[in-house]
Amino acid sequence: MTQTKFELKMGGATRAAFGKALVELGRENSNVVVCDADLSKSTNTAGFAKEFPERFFSCGIAEANMVAIGAGLASAGKVAFVSSFSCFVLNKGFEQLRVTAAYPQVPIKVVGTHSGISIGEDGPSQMSIEDIALACSLPGFAVIDPADEVSMKSLVKSAAALPGSVFIRAGRANAPVIYGAEHTFEIGKAIGLTAGNDLTIIAHGLLVAEALRTSMALGAEGVGVRVIDMHTIKPLDEAAIAKAARETGAILVAEEHLVDGGLGVRVAQSVTKSHPCLMDYVGIQNTYAESGSPEAVLDKYGLVARDVTAAARRLLARKRG
């Protein structure tokens, strides 16, 4: 779909939508099981635990063990979801993700909540800014970061049906609603939200809404900004990237992740193979963030529409020579 204006009303957190989707999956499929690392109220797996206690496994504060248990359940034919904060499940569980899931190609479903720096007051020890880079490095893993509650619910259900390993990134902060309930999503297929031939902004997660705000602001000045929701970071929709590079000649990637190792790197790799063009990046710049409210932290580290718009203007200036 392509639109020129979005109301961007605030919705719920994508972690909450994950929890709702999980309960619905449990009702539809008795083969779905869930492992959690003593954070079920925060990750929103508590609803599944309440309704299906015999299919819920509390693994304690031990993400590495949780991943290995989930991989064992998945290898036995279960649709196994494991969940914790992204920072914990990727960092603490990485060896097990590598050895017990990626290497033997076990179709585990990993959901990391409280991703990025929008976790806010919990501070840098729990802010996951490397999770996408780590997840993308695992052979055979799909990596997904939905932008709102609607896309999260749909993509969680798609991930359950996918015959492979998946990492889904979820946030703590409430996110603007971008999609209508009727919208359909496909893993590996990007969504074009606005049309434009002057510049493309490719984003995922919370930064999709900020990209849309930039598109509307620049659109009022007569600048055509194409916004693409790259909800699937791996596998990339390389056809959409190539088309944007060819038709707009400039791509800005915006993400709540370290610029090093994030979506921008993957888009740049794709662009060099298809249609090299001007590029720039909005993201976390080689630093850990400090504690603060989600709004204050995102503002300080340059992840709001003002920053995306400023970067877009700079890229447009380069394009115009």
**Length of the chain as a residue count:** 321
Strands 79-85 and 109-113: parallel
Q: Which residue out of 28, 63, 95, 256 is catalytically annotated?
A: 63
Residue 64 structure tokens: 């590495």
Residue 319 structure tokens: 């394009």
Measured in degrees and rounded to the nearest 5, phi and psi for residue 233 equal -85, -25
Alpha helix segments (H runs only) across the chain: 14-28, 40-43, 46-51, 63-75, 86-91, 94-96, 131-136, 149-161, 207-219, 238-248, 263-274, 294-300, 305-320
Distance (Å, whole) CA 171 – CA 106? 25
Alpha helix segments (H runs only) across 97-186: 131-136, 149-161
Measured in degrees and rounded to the nearest 5, phi and psi for residue 259 equal -60, -40
Residue 259 CB coordination number (10 Å): 17
CB under 8 Å, gap of 24 or more: what pairs does 219-223 form?
219/4, 219/194, 223/196, 223/198, 223/199, 223/316
Active site residue 221: no
Catalytic residues, by residue number, are 63
